[in-house]
Structure 1
Amino acid sequence: MNFEPLASDFYSYESLLSDREKAALAALRTWLESDVRPIVGEYWDRAEFPRQIVAPLAELGALSFSWDETRPFENSSVFRGFVQLELARIDASVATFVGVQNGLATGAIAVCGSPEQRSEWIPRLARGEVIGSFALTEPLSGSDSAQGLRTTARREGDSWVLNGSKRWIGNATFGDIVVVWARDDADGQVKGFIVPTSTPGYTATRIERKTSLRIVQNADIVLDDVVVPESLRLQHANSFKDTAAVLRLTRAEVAWAAVGTAIGAYEAALKYAGERVQFGKSIGSHQLIQDLLVKCLGNITASLGMVVRVSEMLDRGEQRDEHSALAKAHATARMRETVAWAREVVGGNGIVLDYDVARFFADAEALYSYEGTREMNTLIVGRAITGDAAFV
């Protein structure tokens, strides 16, 4: 398949990919343009998830690029980042679904699971046979999850009893398993559990009236004496440091998705600028509109350079928490600026779904907050550069 680089990749970072990676990205891009772009506006408006996209995503490898048990070929972290960018460029909710499935749920099992748990669950998640969720955030605990986690786990013989509540859990209303993080009553440490959603005592209620990522099926979860066997406890999740190891890998992917969201808004605005005629000529020929578009492209190009570098560091084993934290904080802040400028280009039409910019504009707010707020990521970087922790 011929690979056509994105015009919005102004410094040609895609040229860093291997020929095989370019071919895989081209196949994904073609399918997203033909089968997903035409429907996402309607699904976003109805706040529904298009379940029919799961099987093609799995067939294209988008659910299995990261882990040894399933990845179709040896691929770079830069390639995996471009997959997230490509998904978010079409729709941030689709990118979020893949991020939860392939990054958080599968990633938790890959990083913290035993060999038996990895072989049992990762291939099924990669094939889309099992839909996964990641339950860390709680109604009263978000940024302070390391200290403030209230969901409890109590050992009883060969089983564990979980009690508590979770909030903002993506995929949870239709998922098959949820990776639940709970504090062990015995030692006070955070541990992870694979919880089938059919387990008695587990309930998930969709969060209604969202104005961002409306396609994502976020849920409030209640765990009422949910019993899971020891075999479903993640065997290498023994403290919050292990939870953080999963987040370290996925935080950079959110930064990639932020760049993709910015590109989606920019491309929609650029298209509109070429078609919309005012004062006898296209608005793209006016200086003020060109200024907005160039500012958008500058933000995209700078952020893309940052996330590419972070992914290269990950492949070399050099990436630290502060590297992914800076990328996430910077890319989402620049995304927020970019979608606002894109909305400005489109004017009044920028608040309706017909021109796509409104969807990217709204969805950017969720990406700005999840996987660590800008403030929390700033504190991670601040601690690294000053040597002083300023979290409390």
Structure 2
Amino acid sequence: MNPDRPGPLIGPASGRLATYDISARPLCPSPGARGEAPGPDDRPRNPRGPATMATPEPSRPRREPVAPILLGSLLWGVGAPSTAQEPAPPASQVEQALRDFNAAFVAAYNRADAPALAAMYADDAEVFETDGARYEGRSLIERSYAELFEAEPGARIELSPEHVRLLSPEVVKEEGRSVVLPADGPPIRRFYTALYVKRDGHWLLVSVREEADPLPAPRDRLRELAWLVGEWVDEGPESEARVECQWSPDGHFLLREATIRQAGEVVHRVSQRIGWDPIAGAFRSWEFDSEGGFGEATWERDGNRWVISESGVSPDGLAASSIRILERIGPDQVRWTRTGLTIDGEEISGEERSVLSRVPPHPGLGDEAPPSSAPTRPTSPSHAERSPR
């Protein structure tokens, strides 16, 4: 165990049409489907190609789970409106209906229930993905979901509707964001526009159209390091290293506090802040110790390991640098190694190692999810931020 410095473990109606914002968090992921079975000569399309062809091979699951946009535009399969239209239902009724729909969708997605998801689409539903692919038909939608769940076990989805417009008593347009959280890898965010249609008393998705969200929020990036959250300890006969990591109140950073004790006395403390650098396209951290030293580092993932290249200044004004490696050796253990230490231009041979174990959280604590941010846009009081859909 290193006694000097452990590494980071680390709505109301308005206008002529009824419009209102809601804070529900459900949405639909877009599966792949087309109206005919794939032939033996089919080839997967370039996912970044032009949106001209809309017939990707449904039997080949994507590498990334698709974050489907919810309900679809009811331009298809809807009868001509009656000249004597029914009055629009109260906003609260539609809002609650969509919340219930989205909650059911999220629950079905998170338990990998492809039949239940497909049942939420109309028989003639269509889904348009970011690359221009178009999927049509409930049966193929179900098939695509099944393939997605097989290819990406453990994937979860979060939905954040931002704006809802009642086009008629039986047609609703919804816009928002979705985020798919793979079991391993960064979140996948999408904008979506969805149209719901009410048939036989039930709301169904008829069309879903999605776009890439080019600016993921820092909190979504940091989910890749959410496993750091909690309390970690390495105890020796005469010394102890204890590291506590938690989300910042705004959810945009991870805050880590390390304390070193020898013979029961605190001899060193380190405070660290970890965040996402959108310019460098990498995680970075900044740390300050109780003796006046400070430093910064860049994090790079290598499988189950994080390689942390750091540099800093000691309290006596000497430049220092090293490589720290965090390797997950289990869900509740991490091996910390420091090597390549250089102080004032002089290399220090050897390496330091430590194994830290997670301290079981107290009931109700230890949540690895980042906190929600407060709304910032008056037009969307429930979800003003760029939340994932």
One fold, TM greater than 0.5? no
Point out the structure with the larger strand share: 2
**Normalized against structure 2, the TM-score is what?**
0.22
Larger radius of gyration: 2
Point out the structure with the larger helix share: 1
**Normalized against structure 1, the TM-score is what?**
0.22
